[in-house]
C-alpha cells in the first residue's frame, strides 16, 4: 500500500452561505422522501451526510428561498442520478442509459407531467423541478437549459461507452468532455433564474466571460477529481483527471495528483487575471456582470467548502496523507 499527499487548495475569494440554508435542507428531505428517490439504507445514509442544501446555499448565496429550493432539488437530483450512473451497473450499459435519458429529455422538450407511479422516481422528480423552473423563466432560457442538459446526458453515455469498451480517455478528450460530465453548465445557466441576474447574450457570450465560465467549470470539476481520485481508483473508474493523467503519462499516482493540482491552480490564476480585464463601462449593466461573476466565485469556493468542510463527501481533506 502506498500513501499520497493531497495538495492544499485555496482560493482568493470569500465564502458565503445563503440565510435560508436550514429551510432549504428541510425542504430537500421532504422532497426526496415524497418522490422515493432513496431506495436503500446506504442511499439514505449518504444523503443525510451530503447536506445538499449547503452546496446550493454556498453557490447561490443571495437567492430567495423559493429559488434556492428549486436549485437545491436540481443538484440533489443530479447527484443521485450521477451516483447511479457512476457506481451502479447501469453506468456500464450505454443502451439502457440512452433510453432512460431520452425519456428525461422528453420531459424537458414537451413539459411532460410525470408521477412516481407513471414514470418512476427519477423522471417524476425531474418533472417537478422543470415545472417550477418553467414558471420563473423565459422561453429563450429554457432552450439554453435544455441544450446544457442534452450535453450532460450525452457525456454520461460517453462515459458508459468507455466503461463498456474498457477505454481510458486521452487527456485531451477528458479535458474536453469534463465540463459536460460535471453538469455545472446547467447550474451556470440557472444563475439567471435563481439569482435574478439578467445579462444580455452579447455580454455573456464575450470570449473573456466565456473563458471565465470555462475556468470556473474546470476549477470545480478538477477539484472534485482531486478529492475523489483515490475512491474512483479503488472502484476501477477512469473518468477522473488524476487517473487519466496517470494512465497517459505512466507516472505514479502522486505525480498525477501534483499535475492535476498544477492544472487546477493555473485555472484559478486565469480566472483571477481575466476578472481584472472585465470590460466594465461605468454603466448599470456593469453591476449585473459583477453579480454574475460573483456567483461564479461562489461556485468555486462553495464547492470546496461543501466538499471538504460541510460534508466530507469524498472522505479526505486537502493536505492529508492518505492510503491509495
Quick: pLDDT tens for 133-181: 999 999 999 999 999 999 999 999 999 999 899 999 999 999 999 999 9
**Cell numbers describing residue 160:** 458508459
Q: Are the C-beta atoms of 193 and 67 separated by less than 8 Å?
A: yes
* pLDDT tens for each residue of 46-103: 899 999 999 999 999 999 999 999 999 999 999 898 776 655 565 568 888 899 999 9
- CA-angle at 67, arms to 61 and 73, nearest 5°: 95
Q: Which helix (H) or strand (E) holds 322?
A: strand 321-323
Those residues whose C-beta lies under 8 Å from the C-beta of residue 255, and which sit 6 or more positions away, are 246, 249
Can you tell me the mean pLDDT for 295-302? Answer: 98
The alpha carbons of the chain give a radius of gyration, in whole angstroms, of 19
212: its cell numbers: 471565465
Q: Where are the alpha helices (DSSP H) in the chain?
A: 21-34, 41-50, 52-59, 65-87, 94-110, 116-119, 121-135, 139-165, 171-181, 184-189, 191-194, 201-204, 207-235, 241-249, 253-275, 284-304
Residues 3 and 321: beta-carbon distance below 8 Å: yes
Q: Categorize the per-residue pLDDT at 41 as very low, low, confident or very high, splitting at 50, 70 and 90.
A: confident
- Least Cα distance to 17 among 49, 48, 50, 63 occurs for 63
pLDDT band at 205 (very low <50, low <70, confident <90, very high): very high
Q: Is the dihedral of CA 198, 203, 209, 210 positive or negative?
A: positive
Is 160:236 a contact under the CB 8 Å cutoff?
Answer: no
Task: Give the mean pLDDT of 14-25.
Answer: 97
Give the pLDDT confidence score for residue 30 in this predicted structure: 97
In angstroms, rounded to a whole number, what is the distance separating the alpha carbons of residues 13 and 216?
12
Calpha distance 192→186 (Å, rounded): 11
What is the distance between the alpha carbons of residues 193 and 309, in angstroms, rounded to a whole number? 28
Per-residue pLDDT band at 3 (split at 50, 70, 90): confident
Q: Is the pLDDT of residue 32 over 80?
A: yes
CA distances from 66 to 73, 144, 270, 295 (A): 11, 22, 34, 18
What is the pLDDT of the chain when averaged over all its residues? Answer: 92
Task: State pLDDT tens for residues 214-248.
Answer: 999 999 999 999 999 988 888 888 999 999 999 99
Cβ neighbours around 236 below 10 Å, total: 8
Q: Which three cell numbers stand for residue 236?
A: 476501477
The grid coordinates listed for 265 are: 491552480
Averaged pLDDT for residues 28-54: 91
Taking every pair of C-alpha atoms in the chain, what is the biggest distance, in angstroms? Answer: 59
Domains and CATH numbers, the chain: 3-323 (1.10.600.10)
Percent of the chain surpassing pLDDT 70: 92
- Is residue 1 scored above 90 in pLDDT? no
Amino acid at each position: 500500500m502506498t500513501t499520497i499527499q493531497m495538495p492544499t487548495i485555496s482560493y482568493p475569494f470569500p465564502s458565503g452561505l445563503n440565510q435560508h440554508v436550514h429551510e432549504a435542507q428541510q425542504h430537500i428531505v421532504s422532497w426526496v422522501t415524497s418522490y422515493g428517490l432513496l431506495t436503500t439504507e446506504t442511499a439514505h445514509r449518504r444523503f443525510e451526510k451530503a447536506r445538499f442544501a449547503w452546496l446550493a446555499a454556498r453557490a447561490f448565496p443571495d437567492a430567495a428561498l423559493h429559488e434556492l429550493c428549486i436549485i437545491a432539488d436540481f443538484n440533489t437530483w443530479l447527484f443521485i442520478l450521477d451516483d447511479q450512473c457512476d457506481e451502479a451497473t447501469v453506468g456500464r450499459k450505454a443502451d439502457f442509459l440512452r433510453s432512460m435519458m431520452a425519456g428525461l429529455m422528453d420531459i424537458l422538450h414537451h413539459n411532460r407531467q410525470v408521477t412516481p407511479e407513471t414514470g418512476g422516481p427519477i423522471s417524476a422528480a425531474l418533472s417537478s423541478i422543470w415545472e417550477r423552473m418553467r414558471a420563473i423563466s423565459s422561453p429563450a432560457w429554457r432552450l439554453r437549459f435544455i441544450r446544457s442538459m442534452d450535453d450532460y446526458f450525452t457525456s454520461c453515455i460517453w462515459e458508459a461507452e468507455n466503461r463498456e469498451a474498457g477505454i481510458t480517455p486521452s487527456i485531451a478528450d477528458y479535458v474536453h468532455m469534463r465540463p459536460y460530465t460535471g453538469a455545472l453548465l446547467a447550474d451556470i445557466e440557472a444563475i439567471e433564474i435563481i439569482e435574478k441576474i439578467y445579462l444580455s447574450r452579447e455580454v455573456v457570450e464575450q470570449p473573456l466571460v466565456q473563458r471565465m465560465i470555462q475556468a470556473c467549470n474546470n476549477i470545480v470539476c478538477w477539484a472534485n477529481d482531486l478529492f475523489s481520485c483515490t475512491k474512483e481508483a479503488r472502484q476501477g473508474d477512469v473518468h477522473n483527471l488524476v487517473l487519466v493523467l496517470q494512465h497517459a503519462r505512466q507516472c505514479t499516482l502522486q505525480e498525477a495528483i501534483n499535475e492535476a493540482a498544477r492544472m487546477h491552480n493555473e485555472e484559478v490564476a486565469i480566472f483571477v487575471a481575466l476578472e481584472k480585464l472585465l470590460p466594465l463601462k461605468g454603466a448599470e449593466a456593469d453591476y449585473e456582470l459583477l453579480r454574475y461573476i460573483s456567483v461564479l466565485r461562489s461556485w468555486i469556493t462553495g464547492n470546496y467548502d461543501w466538499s471538504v468542510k460541510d460534508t466530507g463527501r469524498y472522505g479526505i481533506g486537502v493536505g492529508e496523507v492518505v492510503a491509495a
